Structure formats: C-alpha cells, structure tokens
Amino acid sequence: MKKIMLVAIAAMTVAIAGPVVEAQIIEPAVVETEAQAPSDMYFGFGYTFDSIITGSQYLTGTTDSASTFTQVGYNFNPYVAVEGRYSFGLETGIDTQADDTFAVYVKPQYPISADLTVYGLLGYAWSIADGDYVAGIEFTGFAYGLGAKYALFTDVDVFADYTNVYSEEKTIGTVVGGVDVDEDLYSINVGVTYKF
C-alpha cells in the first residue's frame, strides 16, 4: 500500500512540475524573437557631391558642388522599399542656383549578407533653377541610381550610392532669346539611416 501511495505522489509531482518547466523554457524564446523583429520605417541624412554637365550653343561646361539631403523610406520586405529624398540647394551653372531638389524612388534591394545589402533606385526627380539670366526653370524627369548599405547596429545603417537625378534637353527663354540646353545632373551620396 505504501509503495502504491509513493508512486501516485511521484506521478502527481511530475504532472504538476512538467508544465512549469516547459513554460520557463519557451517564454524567453518568444520575447527574444519579438525584440529582434526588423523595423519597416527609416529616416536618414547625408552629404551629396554633385556634378552638372551643361551644353548649349553659348556655353558648355561642368559645375561641381556639394549639399546636404534628408530621406525617409519604408521597407515593404527585405527586397523592396520606397524612398523620398530632399536636397538643399544645388549649383547648376554660372549665376544659376537650383534651390531644392526632391526625388521619389522605388528601391529594389538584395541582402548579400546579414550586414551588407546592395540596392537600386528607380523614380522621379524635380527641381527649380533661378539665377541672373533665368528664372523658374523646372528640371523634372526619370531618375535612377545604384548603391550599397552596411548595418553598423540593429537600427543604424551607413550607405553610399550614385544617382542620376535628371537628364534634360529643352529650349529655355533668356534675355538673349531661346537657348537649346542639354543638362545632366548626377551625384555621389553618402549618409546614415536610422530604423524606427
């Protein structure tokens, strides 16, 4: 009789203690997985080195300049994102200034490793130029680029890319009459983004 009671008590102890042990093992794993979930939104800023090649019947040349920009983006998944960039002021030639440039991109991307990702940029850019001889000239059109980013921390990436912001052929009005202009703007950009 004592043996039967001891076996019954031992069986009840195992039955009660079993779920407690199991819960202690599973619960921390669930919390850790949720903490490591990737962020979808990101914000960034950077520095851009611009070159503008301008050609017309009066003047052909290249203007180099530099400016800062901000960006905001959203990752739909590890392979596709959308991104907007806003640059603060670009010199576009003699006595001419592009006050602001805004671009919106679809961003296909491919993670080569856990930290390194390469990406493309395909979208649309817009800017307005003002100066001594021209006023309110809009530069708009297809924009594209190619770059790479590296994860320094879980939420912080550094990146570098090349973008062709616009390529235009048009006739503009000036004080000397209509001028045919062929203008290309491309830039090399470096910066940092934060996921939140």
Per-residue pLDDT tens for 92-104? 444 445 557 889 9
Under the banding of pLDDT at 50, 70 and 90, the label for residue 109 is very high
pLDDT digits (tens, 9 = 90+) for 137-175: 567 889 999 999 999 998 999 999 999 987 777 677 666
Q: What are phi and psi of 15, to 5 degrees?
A: -65, -35
Both structure tokens of 191: 């910066």
Q: Do residues 75 and 100 touch, judged by C-beta distance below 8 A? A: no
For residue 107, the one-letter residue type is K
For residue 6, the one-letter residue type is L
Measure CA of the first residue to CA of the last residue in the chain; give whole Å.
Answer: 65
Instruction: Identify the CATH number of the domain defined by range 41-195.
Output: 2.40.160.20
* pLDDT for position 110: 97
The C-alpha angle with vertex 38 and arms to 35 and 39, in degrees rounded to 5, equals 105
pTM of the model: 0.68
Q: Please state the domain extents for the chain.
A: 1-37, 41-195
pLDDT digits (tens, 9 = 90+) for 18-70: 554 444 555 444 444 444 555 689 999 999 887 766 666 666 666 666 778 89
Q: Can you tell me which residue has the tokens 């209509």?
A: 178
